[in-house]
A and B are shown apart, each in its own frame.
Chain A
């Protein structure tokens, strides 16, 4: 079995949440590669949640919309929640007008709220690096 070619977008693991984002240049093949890699990673890392940031997308066409819906379904079958975060107003309007409502996909206003919804708590204290860097 040959390993799938890594897709252009990085998939980061934060605890049991996978964080990734979509870029504008998402064609059919890269979307498929992305789907492959993401599902593999969900299983490999035992992820409980997936955050997909779409704030860089100027447009979501029917293909990308279907990919997102399918990803949500696949992730649910693998036991993970998918949250699509940061959709732009114009993109939302276009999707609604095209009649693509991303049924079954959870949404969040931005990545922060998405992570919050996935159970990530923001710590009250600032990371140690800040003060350390400031003193230097």
Chain B
């Protein structure tokens, strides 16, 4: 670090200490002017500004180069991340979020104006502040995106849970109505919840209803076979229902072998079959003997 930069940094530090209130106030007002779309709570903004400026003052008194200050100073980083996450959750746009951080530049520059009249010094201060806050802007943007992605992840997880209910249809009979496209992740969830429910309810038959599945390809068929095999390993039986004519055609055309699985056209048929299986007093003519055994 050059001595000149050191001096500028020192001056910025002093300005921050002396005009702490003023800078915070200016920054909050700038933010309020800029983001008219989202209703930001002014009190919240003031708390954020106070915390961030305190952390910044602390950071500037240290030795860390300004370029890395926001990324490496723990409190400062936490402040920026919290601020960005808060805005991401409140539904602010990414532009608003990073601009909110970047208008601290303006507030700081204005504060620096009072400390000196020398243009060269002011220029040095501007460069320093720019360097300092550019990383803050980038960090804020990154956090914003992460926050949004987390929301998306949470929603897709919720969707996954919502989309796979396991219902008890009859004594010892469970049904899983599947709606929407089946992919590996979803089949995994379906398989887990079916097996769990079988264990809980001591079910003997699980009906997988695919009426709501728009298309069946080899991958989906593979997943279904896996589920059926796992159910059989648990000692229960599996019926697949709701195979619509176009799906039956696809399955036949693709040459997928579902012959080892009991399939029915409608859920009603499947339920009838399931009740018949469970009504049998489980004699030697075992319902759940894997086909290959005999």
Chain A contacts to B: CB under 8 angstroms: 84-89, 91-93, 95-97, 101-110, 113-114, 116-117, 119
19 A-B residue pairs with CB within 8 Å: A88-B199, A89-B234, A91-B233, A92-B234, A93-B192, A96-B191, A96-B230, A96-B233, A104-B290, A104-B293, A105-B293, A106-B288, A108-B235, A109-B202, A109-B236, A113-B202, A113-B204, A113-B235, A117-B284
Q: Which of A89, A96, A107, A119 lies in contact with B226, CB distance below 8 A?
A: A96
Inside 8 A of A84's CB, which chain B residues have their CB?
235
Inside 8 A of B292's CB, which chain A residues have their CB?
103-104
In angstroms, how far is the closest chain A Cβ from the Cβ of B246? Answer: 28
Tell whether, in the assembled complex, residue A109 and residue B204 are in contact, meaning their CB atoms are under 8 Å apart.
yes
The 9 lowest CB-CB distance pairs between A and B, nearest first, are: A89-B195, A107-B235, A108-B235, A109-B235, A92-B233, A92-B230, A103-B292, A104-B293, A96-B230
Q: A95-B233, A110-B202 are in contact. List 20 more A-B contacts (CB 8 A).
A: A85-B235, A87-B234, A89-B195, A89-B230, A93-B230, A96-B226, A104-B290, A104-B292, A104-B293, A106-B289, A106-B290, A106-B293, A107-B232, A107-B288, A109-B199, A109-B203, A114-B235, A116-B282, A117-B282, A119-B283
B229 at the interface (CB under 8 A from A): yes
User: Measured between alpha carbons, how far is A92 from B292 in the docked complex, in Å?
Assistant: 18
User: Measured between alpha carbons, how far is A8 from B290 in the docked complex, in Å?
Assistant: 30
User: Measured between alpha carbons, how far is A106 from B282 in the docked complex, in Å?
Assistant: 13
Inside 8 A of B196's CB, which chain A residues have their CB?
89
In angstroms, how far is the closest chain B Cβ from the Cβ of A100? Answer: 9
User: Measured between alpha carbons, how far is A104 from B231 in the docked complex, in Å?
Assistant: 15
Pick from A101, A110, A114 the residue with the most CB of B within 10 Å: A101
Q: What class of interface size applies to chain B in its complex with A?
A: 20 to 34
User: Measured between alpha carbons, how far is A60 from B229 in the docked complex, in Å?
Assistant: 15
User: Measured between alpha carbons, how far is A93 from B230 in the docked complex, in Å?
Assistant: 6
Inside 8 A of A107's CB, which chain B residues have their CB?
232-235, 288
User: Measured between alpha carbons, how far is A43 from B103 in the docked complex, in Å?
Assistant: 87
Inside 8 A of A93's CB, which chain B residues have their CB?
191-192, 195, 230
Give per-residue flags for B268-294: 1 if the beta carbon is below 8 A from chain A beta carbons, else 0: 000000000000001110101110110
Inside 8 A of A105's CB, which chain B residues have their CB?
290, 293
